[in-house]
Amino acid sequence: MSEIREMLVESATKIMKDFCTKELINEAESGVWAEDLWNIVEESGLTTIAVPEEAGGTGGSYGDALSLLRIAGKYSAPIPLAETLLANWLLAEVGLPISSKPLTLSPVDNNVVTFNETEGGWGVSGIVKQVPWASLVEGIVVVGKFKDQYMIAKIDPNNCLISQGSNLAGEPRNNIEIQNQFVPSNGVAFGTDGLVSRFAHLGILVKSVLMAGALERVLELTTAYTKERSQFGRPIHRFQAIQHHLASLSGETAAAKVVTDYGIEAIDINQFETEAMIAKIRVGEAASISVPIAHQVLGAIGFTDEHILQHSTRRLWAWRDENGTEVEWAEKFGEQVINAGPEALWPSVTGINKNPISSH
Amino acid sequence: MSKALKLPIVELPENIDKLRDEVRSFIAEERSKGTFEPQCDSWLGGFSAEFSRKLGERGWIGMTWPKKYGGHERSSLERFVVTEELLAAGAPVAAHWIADRQSGTLLLRYGTEEQRNFYLPKIAKGESYFVIGLSEPNSGSDLASLSSMATKADGGWVLNGSKLWTSGAHHSHYMIALVRTAPLNPENRHQGLSQFVVDLAAPGVTVRPIRLMTGEHHFNEVIFEDVFIPDGSLVGKVGDGWKQGMAELAYERSGPERFLSTLPLLTELLNTIQLDPDRHTKIEVGKLVARLWTLRKMSLGVAGLLEKGVTPSLMAALVKDLGTQFEKQLAETARLLVSSNPSVTSSSAFERRLAEAILHSPGFTLRGGTTEILRGIIAKEVVAK
C-alpha cells in the first residue's frame, strides 16, 4: 500500500469510527439524512476521489477510492458514498461536470431509459427500479439509449417521480419514473459498450469491497463477543464448537480480504474485469457462510436492534444480491472458463499466457 | 482487521514466467513421452525415482538452498511456481516431496555443517528421500504425548518406539524423528523432546506396511527396537525438538499441495463438460475456479511472508483448512455434475481421476494437522490478537 493510501485509510477509519455510531445508523434507517457525516466526508474531499484534479476532483486512484470504501463498508456508513463516487467517475470519464454533493448512479446496463432529441437538448424518459439512495441525492446519473447508442446524463431527482423503498439494511432503494426530463445538449454524453461494461464491473467490485469491509466488522464483533460472554463458567471462546465457528469466520473474512485486495490492485492497472467477477462470487459466498455463523455465536442479542451486529449482517444480506448475485456472476465466469477449455484453465489461474479467460 | 489475518499481495516477478515456461515444456515433453499420466494427489501417490532424478538434474529440488549444499539459491517464490506447476499437472513428485519441502529445510536451519554436507546434495539430486517422524500409535493430534524414547549411550543414543502414518517409508532412506530424550513432564509436555535423523536401513528398524483402503501402499508403521543412532544424528539441540518441529509446520501447511491435490480432476471435468454445459454446470464451475483463484493468492501470500522470514503459523493453518476443504469440494462437485462410474481401472480419464480424488479425500483434511486441530489453532490466535 502506498503511503498516501495508508494515510487515507487511516483518516477515513478515524472519521467513520467517530461518526458511524449505533444511533446515527439507526436514525439514517428511519430516513434522517446523516448530515454531519456527509459534511465531513465531503469537506475531506472523499466524494471525488479518483477524479483527476483537472476535472475538479480530489485526484488519487480507483484503488485509493476502493480502499476507502472498504472502510465505509466496515463501519456501515449510512451515506451514498459509493454511489457518489461511481457517479462522479462516470461523469468525469465522459467529460461531464462532477459534483461533491450526494449523487447516485442508476443501473448502467439497462434498456429502460430512452433519450430523445429535442430543441437544444434531449428528453430523458424511463422507469428505473432499485436506484440506490435516489430519494436523498441531488443528482441521478443515468445511462440510457438513443437508438443503439448509449447516452449518459445527470438528471434532477426533484423532477422525477420517486417511490419510497429500501433494501434489507434499510438503505434507500427507490423506483424512479423519469418523465421526459429535459437535459441541455452540453449535459449529455455518449457512451460505448466497453464503458458500460467497465462500469458494470466497477459496480460489482465496489459492492465487493463494501462487503469485505462489513465482513471484517462481523469477525471483530463476533470475536469480541466470545471473549466477553461467559457461560458454564468460562468465556465461550474456550468451547471447541465456538472455536470452529471462529475459524470458519476467520477463513472467510481472510479470503474476502485477499480477493478484494487483488481487485483493488488490478483496477489501477485497468484490467480488472475478471478479478471483479471473482471478487463478487467469492465475497458473496463468504457473506452467506459468515452471517449465519455470527448470528449463531451471538445468540438472541445479535438479532435485536440493541446490538450493532445487525448493521453489518443486514448490509451483507442486502449487498450480496445487488449488482447480481454470486450465482449470476458465477454463471458468466464459469461459461468463460468452460469456453476457454481445459488446457487454458491452469494458465489463466496463474495469469500467464495473456489471460485466456477474458470478460469480453 | 486483525493484523494477524493479513496477507501481502505478491506480484510474481516477470522473469518467473520464463521458469514457469521451462517447467511447462518439461512436463509437456514428459507427457508426450508417456512418462506419466496426471493423477490426483500425486505428491502422496506418484512415486517415481526416475522423475525425481530428472527434476534434480534441472535444479528443481532444493531450489532455495545454498549452492554449496547442492542447492540453487533461488527464491521461495520460484520454488512455489515450480511446485504448483508440477502439482497442477498431476506429476509424480512423491519420492522427494518431504525431503525437499521440510526435511532438507529443517537440516539447513538446525542441522550441523556435517549433516548439511552429507544430506542436502543427495536430496537436491532427487536421490535421497525422507519421511516425517511425528505421529505414533498413541499420539496423533495430541502430538506432545508421544512416547518413542532415545536413551543416551556411548557415542550416541538408543531408540525404542514406533512412528505411524509414515508415507513412503518403504522406499525412503531417512526419517527425521521427534522423540523423547527425557521422561514426560506432565507440567510441560513440550520439554524433553529432540529431533534425530534416523537411517531407515539401520539394524532394529522395521517398516510395516499399512495399506490404504484402496489397497495402495503409502502408509507404514516404522518400529524401532534398540536402534543405535550416532551422536552426529541429533538435529539442533537436545530438548528443542518441539520448537524446531513447529517451525517445520508452517512449511508443511501452506504450500500449493494443500489446494491442488485434486486439480487434475478439474481439468478432466472441463474436458468432459465442454460441449454442452447447462446453467447449473457453468455456475458450479465458476464458483470452483473463483475459489481456486482466491486460494492460490492466499497460499502465495503465505509464501510471500515465508520469503520475508516471517513464520505465519496462523495463516498457514487457515490456508490449509480452506484449501483442503476445497480439494474435497472439487471432487464432490465433479461427481454431481457428471453422471459416471468412478473407478481407478476405468477406461475414462474422468472416471479414473474422480476415483482417485474420492478414495484419497479422507486424507486431505487429516494429514499435516487435522481440520479440528487447525481450527483450534486459528481460533486461539484470532482471540488472542
Output the pLDDT for position A357.
Answer: 47
Q: Quick check: B379 and A338 CB within 8 A?
A: no
CA distance A231 to chain B (A): 17
Of B282, B292, B376, which has the smallest distance from its Cβ to A240's Cβ? B376
Identify the closest residue of chain B to A264 by CA–CA distance. Answer: B9
Ramachandran angles phi, psi of B176, nearest 5°: -100, 110
For the segment B349-356, the average pLDDT, to the nearest whole number, is: 97
Question: Which residues of chain A make contact with B281, given a CB cutoff of 8 A?
Answer: 334, 338
Contact B379 A242 (CB under 8 A): yes
Mean pLDDT value across residues B67-92: 96
Partner-chain residue, chosen from A250, A251, A346, that has the shortest CB–CB distance to B88: A346
Buried-state track A155-184, b at ≥16 Cβ within 10 A, e below 16: bebeebebeeeebbbbbbbbebebeebebe
Partner residue opposite B267 with nearest CB, options A216, A333, A345? A345
Query: Angle B263-273/B349-364 helices, nearest 10 degrees?
Result: 150
Rounded to the nearest angstrom, the minimum Cα separation between A83 and chain B is 24
A257–B380: do the CB atoms touch at under 8 Å? Answer: no
CB pair distance less than 8 Å for B380 and A243:
yes
List CB contacts of B170: < 8 A, sequence separation 6 or more: B207, B209, B217, B220
List b or e across B85-98, with b for residues whose CB sees 16 or more CB atoms inside 10 angstroms. Answer: bbbbbbbbbbbbbb
Chain B residue with CA closest to A259: the answer is B294
Q: CA of A244 to nearest chain B CA: how many angstroms apart?
A: 6
State the pLDDT at residue A355. Answer: 45
Q: What is the mean pLDDT of chain A?
A: 95
Task: Find which of B11, B293, B320 to mutate to test the A interface (most A CBs within 10 Å of its CB).
Answer: B293
Q: What's the gap in Å between the CA of A90 and the closest CA on chain B?
A: 28
Which pLDDT tens digit goes with each residue over A232-254? Answer: 999 999 999 999 999 999 999 99
- H helices present in A55-156, as ranges: 62-74, 81-93
**pLDDT score recorded for residue A242:** 97
pLDDT at A109: 78
Does A354 have pLDDT greater than 60? no
pLDDT value of residue B2: 65
pLDDT of A353 strictly over 60: no
Say if the Cβ atoms of B293 and A278 lie within 8 Å: yes
Q: What percent of chain B has pLDDT above 90?
A: 90
Question: What pLDDT is stored for residue A265 in this prediction?
Answer: 92
What's the pTM value of the predicted model, to 2 decimals? 0.95
Band of pLDDT at residue A111, cut at 50, 70 and 90: confident
All residues of chain B having their beta carbon less than 8 Å from the beta carbon of residue A246 are 375, 378-379, 382-383
| Model pLDDT for residues B155-186, shown as the tens digit of each residue | 999 999 999 999 999 999 999 999 999 999 99
What is the per-residue pLDDT across A43-71, written as a single tens digit (0 to 9) for each? 999 999 999 999 999 999 999 999 999 99
The confidence band for B41, taking pLDDT boundaries of 50, 70 and 90, is very high
The band of A356, judged by pLDDT with boundaries at 50, 70 and 90, is very low
pLDDT over 70 (residue B7): yes
- The distance of A184 to chain B (nearest Cα, Å) reads 44
Confidence at A352, pLDDT banded by 50, 70, 90: low
Total Cβ atoms within 10 A of residue A27: 14
Task: Work out the mean pLDDT of chain B and round it to a whole number.
Answer: 95
Show the cell assigned to A296.
449463531
pLDDT in tens, B242-280: 999 887 777 788 799 999 999 999 999 999 998 889 999
For residue A7, the surrounding DSSP H or E stretch is helix A3-19
Disruptive mutation site among A9, A219, A331, A343 for chain B (greatest number of B CBs within 10 Å) = A331
| A223 pLDDT more than 50 | yes
Using alpha carbons only, give the angle A42, A48, A52 rounded to the nearest 5 degrees.
Answer: 145
B302-348: pLDDT as tens digits = 999 988 888 888 999 999 999 999 999 999 999 999 999 999 999 99
CB B167 within 8 A of CB B219: yes
For residue B128, pLDDT over 70 is answered with yes
- Cα separation, B99 vs B49, whole angstroms: 13
- Whether the pLDDT of residue A359 is over 70: the answer is no
User: Which pLDDT band holds residue A288 (cuts at 50, 70, 90)?
Assistant: very high
B334: cell is 465433479
In this predicted model, which residue has the larger pLDDT, A2 or A220? A220
Question: What pLDDT, in 10s, does the model give residues B185-224?
Answer: 999 999 999 999 999 999 999 999 999 998 999 999 999 9
Q: Cell digits for B193?
A: 523432546
CA-to-CA distance for B225 and B241, rounded, in angstroms? 21
Is B382 in Cβ contact with A349 (below 8 Å)?
A: no
Q: What is the DSSP string of A44-83?
A: TTGGGBTS-GGGTS-B--HHHHHHHHHHHHHTT--S-HHH
CB < 8 Å to A262, chain B? 9, 297
Residue B92 — very low, low, confident or very high, per pLDDT cuts 50/70/90? Answer: very high
CA distance A138 to A140: 7
Supply B47's cell numbers. Answer: 512415486
Which residues have C-beta within 8 Å of that of residue B138, sequence separation ≥ 6?
B145, B146, B147
CA distance B375 to chain A (A): 5
Under an 8 A CB cutoff, do B321 and A251 touch?
A: yes
- Concatenating the DSSP letter of every residue in A214-237 gives HHHHHHHHHHHHHHH-EETTEEGG
A194, A200, A202, A204 alpha-carbon torsion, rounded to 10°: -150
CB A336 within 8 A of CB B285: no
